[in-house]
Structure 1
Amino acid sequence: MAATESLPATVGRRLYVQLGITLIAFAAAGGMLAAHRTTLDSGTDRLAAADREWLLLACAAAAATWVCAAVAQQGAVIERLPRGRLVAAQFAAGAANHLLPAGAGATVVNLRFLKRCGLSTGRAATALAVKAAVGGLVRCALGVALLVASPGAVHLSARVPHVLVLLPVAAAGAVLAAVISGRLRRLVVRAFADVRDVHRCRARAGALWGGSVAFALLHAGVVVAVVHAIGLGLPVSRVVMAYLVASGAAALLPTPGGLGSLDAALALALTAAGAPGAAAVSAVLGYRLLTGWLPMAPGLLVLALLARRSAL
Structure 2
Amino acid sequence: MSLLPLDGPATPLPRADDRPPCPVPPPAAARGPLDAVVVRRVLSLLPLLALAVWAALDRHAVYEGAARLTAADPWWLLAGLVFTGLGWVAAACVRQGALPDRLPKGALVASQVAAGAANHLLPASIGAHAVTVRFLTRQGVPLPRATASIALYSLVRAVAKTPLILAFVLVAPAALPPPRLLPDGRTLFLIAAGVLLAPAAATVVLLLLRRLRRPARDFVRTALTDARHLHTRPSRFLPLWGGAMAAPLLQACVVASVGSALGVPLTWPQMVFAFLAAGTAAGAVPAPGGIGPVDAALVLILAGYGSPLALATATVIGYRVLTVWVPLLPGMLVLSALVQRRML
Please indicate, yes or no, whether the TM-score normalized by the shorter chain is above 0.5. Answer: yes
Per-residue CA deviations over 1:178-221 (Å, capped at 9, x if unaligned) read 99654699555543322211122111111111112221211111
Task: Report the CA distance shift for 1:303/1:180 in structure 2 as closer, same or farther (over 3 A).
Answer: farther
The alignment covers a number of residue pairs equal to: 270
2:29 is matched with which residue?
none
Task: Give yes or no for the alignment of 1:48 onto 2:70.
Answer: yes
Stretches of structure 2 that go unaligned for 5 or more consecutive residues are 1-57
Does the 8 A contact of 1:97 with 1:106 survive in 2? yes
Matches within 5 A, 1:119-198: 119-156=141-178, 158=180, 162=183, 181=205, 182=208, 186=217, 190-198=222-230
Task: Give yes or no for the alignment of 1:210 onto 2:242.
Answer: yes
Does the 8 A contact of 1:157 with 1:273 survive in 2? no
Stretches of structure 1 that go unaligned for 5 or more consecutive residues are 1-29
Q: Distance in 1 between matches of 2:270 and 2:221?
A: 37
Does the 8 A contact of 1:153 with 1:241 survive in 2? yes
Per-residue CA deviations over 1:47-106 (Å, capped at 9, x if unaligned) read 331111111111111111101111111111111101111011000001101111111000
Q: How big is the shift at 1:274?
A: 2.1
Task: Give yes or no for the alignment of 1:63 onto 2:66.
Answer: no
Matches within 5 A, 1:146-295: 146-156=168-178, 158=180, 162=183, 181=205, 182=208, 186=217, 190-295=222-327
- Tell me the percent identity: 42
Per-residue CA deviations over 1:161-183 (Å, capped at 9, x if unaligned) read 857xx69959x88xx67996546
1:106 is matched with which residue?
128
Task: Report the CA distance shift for 1:296/1:140 in structure 2 as closer, same or farther (over 3 A).
Answer: same
TM-score with structure 1 setting the length: 0.77
Q: Distance in 1 between matches of 2:271 and 2:129?
A: 28
The one-letter code sitting in structure 2 at the alignment partner of 1:66 is W
The one-letter code sitting in structure 1 at the alignment partner of 2:263 is G
The one-letter code sitting in structure 1 at the alignment partner of 2:164 is L
1:115 is matched with which residue?
137
SS of structure 2 residue aligned to 1:256: coil
Structure with a larger share of its residues in helix:
1
Which has the higher Rg, Structure 1 or Structure 2? 2
The one-letter code sitting in structure 1 at the alignment partner of 2:141 is L
Does the 8 A contact of 1:157 with 1:271 survive in 2? no
